[in-house]
Amino acid sequence: MDRDKIIDFLQYRFVAIGFSLVLFVIFVSSIVSSGGINWGIDFVGGVKITAKFEQDVTIGSIREVLNKNNISGTVQQIGKEELNEYIISTKLLEKGESAEASANILTNAINSSFDNVEVLGTETVGPAIGEFLKKSAIKLFGIALLLMMFYLSFRFEVKYSFGAIVAVVHDILLSFAFCGFANIEIDIPVIAAVLTIFGYSVNDTIVIFDRIRENNQIQTKQTLFDIVNKSITQSISRTLLTSITTLFAVLALYLLGGEVISGFAAVLLFGIFIGTYSTIYIASPVVLGWEKMAAKKKKSE
Amino acid sequence: MSRGLIYRVIFILVLITFAVILILPTVGEKTMKIELSENVTQQQLQRISERFSSDDFQVEQKDNAILVSGINLSDAVMNEVRIFPGVIDAKLLPHWAESAVLAKKINLGLDLQGGMHLVLQADFKQMEKKLGKTLSEKEKTELSRQALELLRNRVDKFGVSEPSIRPRGNDAIEIQLPGVKNPKSVKKAIGTTGRVEYRLGNDKYTQEANQWVKENLEGGMLPDDPAELRRLEEKIADGIGLPDNMIILFYYERDDQSNKLYPSYPIVLQKDIALAGDDINKAWVAPDEYQQLAVHFTLTPDGAAKFAEVTSEKNHGKKMAIVIDEKVRSAPVIRVQISTGQAIIQGDFTREEVHALARIIKEGALPVDLSIIEERTVGPSLGQDSIESGVKAIMVGLLGVMFFMMLYYKFSGLISDIGLIINIILMMALLSWLGFTLTLPGFAGFILTVGMAVDANVIIYERIKEELKSGKSARMAVANGFDRAFWTIFDANLTTLIAAFVLSQFGTGPIKGFAVTLFIGVLCSMFVALYITKTIFEIITSSRKIKKLSI
């Protein structure tokens, strides 16, 4: 690539904002049409059983048993097909029912319909703790955002801090929406994944902002628009390279890490794309917009 | 090379050596000792040797034990062999690095080694209703503490290695039991209410039982394991021909060092309960005549009559055992008749226990109702699968990243690959040294760090490339590249550290594991990029007259 040539990334900024909006609308409407956010049992309470069946069973035959017993749940096969291992999970069977009672109903239903079921693991979460975890997750994002804002305004000008935060919020919202779209249950590992995207996205943004700040100091004749374009151009190979190496690692996790964290890895995969994209097309345009507004204000004064 | 550079190289080498030693107990060769029963059959021996027949293990038989060494030994393997027929016990022997430099094996979380995680919540609302008053925060904390102490005693009964029982907030208790095989029985034991009872002792049979133990048990040491203890109980009863109206329990003492209760000697008691918890009217804690904390209590009229009867002259000189949760904790000799309906329990109790005891007597149960609000059980095989797939994912991710870096940056890529490996060694060393617990999300954090660790190198290399392009010498370009990249790397990584730190404050175990590995990973990668790879580059550019840098 010819390094001296500046690529005009920013000419597509409005297209990009439109793209984000459309993506978000698609994701959200798919969530609405599938009946709301798919909270995992960590947040609403419920039972999850990992079981190994001696006889050959299919997702269908397990589901049939659940239906017969009036249990609404999901069934997922894990590992190799011949292992006959499944994860069966159900939200709280009835409102107000204790998680333990639900666990008993579920295990009884399975045990009475299949021979020699070996339970490899169970998870039971009561509704109260689910509510508690939900609250602390929300608190967590709040605290992380505040700390980030604080640090950024300490190290950069306010407009940069604002741009980074807008990009991060954009990434968080889209990541959660993506979970709904891809039918990934929002459980605690997914929260961790989104927070990691948070860190990754800001990291990416800062590298470019750092460049903008540096170029701003040497070149005074150029407009901010040109400086931003120049800075993105200068950092683009780093941005892409880091995305690629991280992508390698997360892809390995997604493909080989086992069923238990595949949801987590899928969200991370999406997050790496969106985090890279938002750095260029969300964070930087917001800084430009801020600058324009400030200039207008000055003029009118 | 300048002197400063030489010192730096020495420092780095020492650091890496130290880190490698620290991770030896985790990744190095381990040795397991399998103790065999005296009458182990040839068939049983064969099964054991078949288990370790592959090339990964070396097996050596010594007297009544088999020593197995190999890299792939783990707690899971240990637990697997333990229940083989003909095997008495299996133990992983401590690695030499563990005693030499305080190295520790990286702890595996319950999701990786299997086990049970419980969160119990205290029901204060119900209690307040019963008491007809609101409890202060301080009272609630105190109640939770007492419940925790009681639970600890009960969990001790299961002989689980390294149980963790700790408060979560002021109204919940978190229990982690690694490697528990029978979660149902644990849950039952935790849920049952505590019991206090008085039973009259029988000196003649107690003596015989102790004699039997002395003759039949090597060293007279009682086993710690509750199941074995129960078996022993039956054996003693058979051995001394115990009448039906009596039972054998064990007297428990507290080990001053570990602060744990252990069975000290058998004691034979009447099956009939002389005085039960509900005969007691009021109980409180106060110092006794020796200034030791003791439980004082008054009896109900009914209980007072019973107590007067038990302590009457015919029983003088006999022992009165105070049994708490099936453990004899105190056995004073009856000397005078107590007909006032007031008495005192003395014994080798901790402060928490005295309060808990007073509470058990008063309420006949745990100080407050506890309900299970969260339960996660992972079987050992599921955990083993997770470890295997986690390690595989790390390996593949690592190789992919390393290959890519070499492809793109050629020789400089190789340097960053070396940095990456050092980074992983340092991370593992820190994780094991600080005693963190590795969980499945922790593996994810590890993998993510592998991907992100080269970021610092990428930022530096891109800078160096720019510098080279503007016509600087290799040496200047390297120096400037590192200098200019420093603050970018610092700012960028600090934000990830903030996210990881916030995440580590999120209560639940697995996520904490993820956050901690991410945090440590980012710290290590910054150190490796800004210090170690920088030193390598300086060596290269200083020692030879390099015109061109392969980057």
> Residue A22 to residues A18, A26, A29: CA-CA distances in angstroms?
6, 6, 10
Residue B107 lies in a domain: no
Q: How confident is the model at residue B47 (pLDDT cuts 50, 70, 90)?
A: confident
Q: State whether B77 and B164 are in the same domain.
A: no
Q: State whether B90 and B156 are in the same domain.
A: no
Is the predicted pLDDT of residue B532 greater than 90, yes or no? yes
Q: Look at the alpha carbons of B463, B467, B469, B475 in this order and tell me if their dihedral is positive or negative.
A: negative
pLDDT 10s digits, B54-68: 777 888 887 788 888
Domain boundary among B376, B393, B415: B376
Q: State whether B147 and B87 are in the same domain.
A: no
Chain A environment of B455 (Cβ under 8 Å): 203, 238, 242, 245-246
Q: How confident is the model at residue A271 (pLDDT cuts 50, 70, 90)?
A: very high
Mean pLDDT, rounded, of chain B: 80
Mean pLDDT, rounded, of chain A: 84
Q: What average pLDDT does range A110-130 have in this prediction?
A: 82
B375 touching chain A per CB within 8 A: yes
Helix (H, G, I), strand (E, B) or coil at B195: coil
To the nearest whole Å, the CA of A213 is away from the closest chain B CA by: 11
B147 lies in which domain range? 115-192+371-376
Pinpoint the alpha helices (H) of A34-93: 41-44, 59-68
Q: What average pLDDT does range A231-248 have in this prediction?
A: 89
CB spacing of B373 vs A99 below 8 angstroms:
yes
Task: Select from A143, A188, A255 the Cβ nearest to the Cβ of B511.
Answer: A188
Q: State whether B333 and B304 are in the same domain.
A: yes
Residue B110 lies in a domain: no
CB spacing of A148 vs B495 below 8 angstroms:
yes
For residue B367, what pLDDT is reported? Answer: 59
Look up the CATH number of domain A9-37+132-300. Answer: 1.20.1640.10
For residue B193, what pLDDT is reported? Answer: 53
DSSP B315: G
B500 touching chain A per CB within 8 A: yes
Compute the count of residue pairs across chains A and B with CB atoms less than 8 Å apart: 216
Q: How confident is the model at residue B73 (pLDDT cuts 50, 70, 90)?
A: confident
Q: State whether B68 and B85 are in the same domain.
A: yes
Residue B9 lies in a domain: no
User: A206 with A153: CB under 8 angstroms?
Assistant: no
Q: State whether B216 and B321 are in the same domain.
A: yes
Q: If 0-12 CB within 10 Å is exposed, 13-18 middle and 19+ buried, where does residue B313 land?
A: exposed
Chain B environment of A207 (Cβ under 8 Å): 459, 488, 492
CB B314: neighbour CB atoms within 10 A? 10
Computed over its alpha carbons, how large is the radius of gyration of chain B?
31
pLDDT 10s digits, B222-278: 887 766 777 788 888 888 888 888 888 888 877 766 667 788 888 999 888 787 766
Maximum average pLDDT range among B359-363, B399-403, B488-492: B399-403
Of B21-25, B277-281, B453-457, give the lowest mean pLDDT range.
Answer: B277-281
Is the predicted pLDDT of residue A2 greater than 60, yes or no? no
pLDDT 10s digits, A128-187: 777 877 888 888 888 888 888 888 888 888 888 899 999 999 999 999 999 988 888 888
For residue B483, what pLDDT is reported? Answer: 92
Nearest to A64 by CA among A75, A77, A53: A75
Task: Select from A79, A247, A257 the Cβ nearest to the Cβ of B393.
Answer: A257
CB A265: neighbour CB atoms within 10 A? 25
B401 touching chain A per CB within 8 A: yes
Helix (H, G, I), strand (E, B) or coil at B546: coil
Is the predicted pLDDT of residue A32 greater than 60, yes or no? yes
B406 touching chain A per CB within 8 A: no
For residue B524, what pLDDT is reported? Answer: 92
Of A9-23, A109-123, B390-404, B421-435, give the lowest mean pLDDT range.
Answer: A109-123
Q: If 0-12 CB within 10 Å is exposed, 13-18 middle and 19+ buried, where does residue B154 land?
A: middle
pLDDT 10s digits, B363-379: 544 556 777 888 888 87
Where do the domains of chain A lie? 9-37+132-300, 46-125
Q: What average pLDDT does range A26-49 have in this prediction?
A: 85
Q: How confident is the model at residue A279 (pLDDT cuts 50, 70, 90)?
A: confident
B452 touching chain A per CB within 8 A: yes
Helix (H, G, I), strand (E, B) or coil at A45: coil
For residue B194, what pLDDT is reported? Answer: 58
Residue B355 lies in a domain: no
Sequence-ordered list of residues with C-beta below 8 angstroms from that of B147, at least 6 positions apart, any chain: B122, B173, B366, B367, B368, B370
Q: Look at the alpha carbons of B148, B151, B157, B162 in this order and tell me if their dihedral is positive or negative.
A: negative
Q: How confident is the model at residue B461 (pLDDT cuts 50, 70, 90)?
A: very high
Is the predicted pLDDT of residue B289 greater than 80, yes or no? no
Q: How confident is the model at residue B357 (pLDDT cuts 50, 70, 90)?
A: low
> Residue A5 to residues A210, B158, B499: CA-CA distances in angstroms?
20, 71, 36
Residue B352 lies in a domain: no
Number of domains in chain B: 4
Q: How confident is the model at residue B407 (pLDDT cuts 50, 70, 90)?
A: very high
Q: Which residue of B has its CA nearest to A242?
A: B455
Is the predicted pLDDT of residue B413 greater than 70, yes or no? yes
Chain A environment of B404 (Cβ under 8 Å): 244-245, 248
Interface of B with A in 196-255 (CB under 8 A): none
CATH number, position B305: 3.30.1360
To the nearest whole Å, the CA of B483 is away from the closest chain A CA by: 13
Residue B103 lies in a domain: no
Look up the CATH number of domain A46-125. Answer: 3.30.70.3220
pLDDT 10s digits, B470-488: 888 888 888 999 998 998 8
pLDDT 10s digits, B330-344: 777 787 788 888 877
Residue B362 lies in a domain: no
Q: State whether B302 and B221 are in the same domain.
A: yes
Q: How confident is the model at residue B543 (pLDDT cuts 50, 70, 90)?
A: low
Of A65-79, A181-195, B248-262, B445-459, give the lowest mean pLDDT range.
Answer: B248-262
Q: State whether B400 and B508 are in the same domain.
A: yes
Nearest to A48 by CA among A124, A134, A99, A147: A124
To the nearest whole Å, the CA of A20 is away from the closest chain B CA by: 24
**What type of residue sits at position B227?**
A
CB spacing of A210 vs B488 below 8 angstroms:
yes
3-state helix, strand, coil split of chain A in percent (to 5) is 70, 10, 20
Q: How confident is the model at residue A1 (pLDDT cuts 50, 70, 90)?
A: very low
Q: State whether B497 and B466 are in the same domain.
A: yes
Q: How confident is the model at residue B181 (pLDDT cuts 50, 70, 90)?
A: low
CA angle B419–B425–B426, rounded 5-degree value: 85
> Residue B210 to residues A127, B203, B224, B267, B328: CA-CA distances in angstroms?
52, 10, 17, 8, 15
On whether the pTM is more than 0.90, the answer is no
CB spacing of B404 vs A244 below 8 angstroms:
yes
Interface of B with A in 58-117 (CB under 8 A): 111
CB spacing of B374 vs A119 below 8 angstroms:
no
Task: Select from A147, A255, A264 the Cβ nearest to the Cβ of B444.
Answer: A264
For residue A93, what pLDDT is reported? Answer: 59
CB spacing of A252 vs B396 below 8 angstroms:
yes
Is the predicted pLDDT of residue B547 greater than 70, yes or no? no
Is the predicted pLDDT of residue A96 greater than 60, yes or no? no
Nearest to A91 by CA among A36, A147, A130: A130
Q: How far apart are CA B499 and CA B515, in angstroms?
A: 8
Distance, CA of A75 to chain centre: 23
Q: Which residue of B has its CA nearest to A141?
A: B502
CA angle A59–A62–A66, rounded 5-degree value: 130
For residue A172, what pLDDT is reported? Answer: 92
- The interface pTM score, or ipTM, of the predicted complex is 0.83
Is the predicted pLDDT of residue A197 greater than 80, yes or no? yes
To the nearest whole Å, the CA of B274 is away from the closest chain A CA by: 37
CB spacing of B377 vs A123 below 8 angstroms:
yes
Computed over its alpha carbons, how large is the radius of gyration of chain A?
24
Going by DSSP bridges, is the β-strand pair B293-299/B280-287 parallel, antiparallel, or unpaired? antiparallel
Interface of B with A in 408-447 (CB under 8 A): 408, 440-441, 443-444, 447
Is the predicted pLDDT of residue A94 greater than 60, yes or no? no
Is the predicted pLDDT of residue A198 greater than 90, yes or no? no
For residue B226, what pLDDT is reported? Answer: 67
For residue B17, what pLDDT is reported? Answer: 92
* Letter string b/e over residues A73-100, b meaning 16 or more CB atoms within 10 A of that residue's CB: bbbbbbbeeeebbbbbbbbbbeeeebbb
Q: What average pLDDT does range B378-383 have in this prediction?
A: 77
Sequence-ordered list of residues with C-beta below 8 angstroms from that of B333, at least 6 positions apart, any chain: B317, B318, B319, B320
